[in-house]
Amino acid sequence: MNSVIIVLGSPNDEQGNLSALGIARCEQAWQEYTKNPDTKVLCTGGFGASFNVTNQPHSFYTREYLINKGVPKTQFLPLVLSRFTLEDATLAKTVIEAAQITDAVLVTSDFHMTRAKFIFSYVFPTIQFSYAPALTILAADELAALHEHENKAMLREYKNKTLFLEALAVSNTNK
């Protein structure tokens, strides 16, 4: 069985310091890793005006955090330079298939987990997933804004799923 912990990206500042969301996700990933130190780790996140304007991809900072916690460099799969959740999954697909992954632990923030589950389940229908939500500690108004964003994003993801499955069907017929 080939396992991976997938750590979804979040914002960092102009110096590459992870946000509270990023640190919480890394800490959750670390907890998962300590349960099974043979597991590979896949970090996502590239560049974007709203989450990372440094000269290194966000996933670089996540990986460095986890290395500093004690995850050996050899346990990491190639970084995924994604900008949003659907891209996390679609760009990770090649990496995960090349590593012959059969099961995965998906790590993201608790408020984001419903959407992440939805996306990863249709991009990876044959992988056995478990889920490890990182607790989000924010002021009530900030958390409410995040939940509102997720509700709107889910409407978009239902449309994306239809388009994705249609494209996959076309791709499979052309093989």
pLDDT tens for each residue of 56-111: 999 999 999 999 999 999 999 999 999 999 999 999 999 999 999 999 999 999 99
Radius of gyration over every alpha carbon of the chain, rounded to an integer in angstroms = 16
Confidence (pLDDT) at 160:
73
Structural domains of the chain in order of their starting residue, each with its CATH number: 3-173 (3.40.50.620)
Question: Which tens digits make up the pLDDT trace of 105-152?
Answer: 999 999 999 999 999 999 999 999 999 999 988 788 887 888 888 778
CA dihedral 82→111→23→84, nearest 10 degrees, is 10
* Tokens describing residue 142: 């900030």
* Tokens describing residue 159: 């449309």
Share of the chain above pLDDT 90, in %: 73
Burial 126-161 (b: 16+ CB within 10 A, else e): ebeeeebbbebeeeeeeeeebeeebeebeeebeebb
Whole-structure pTM over 0.85, yes or no?
yes
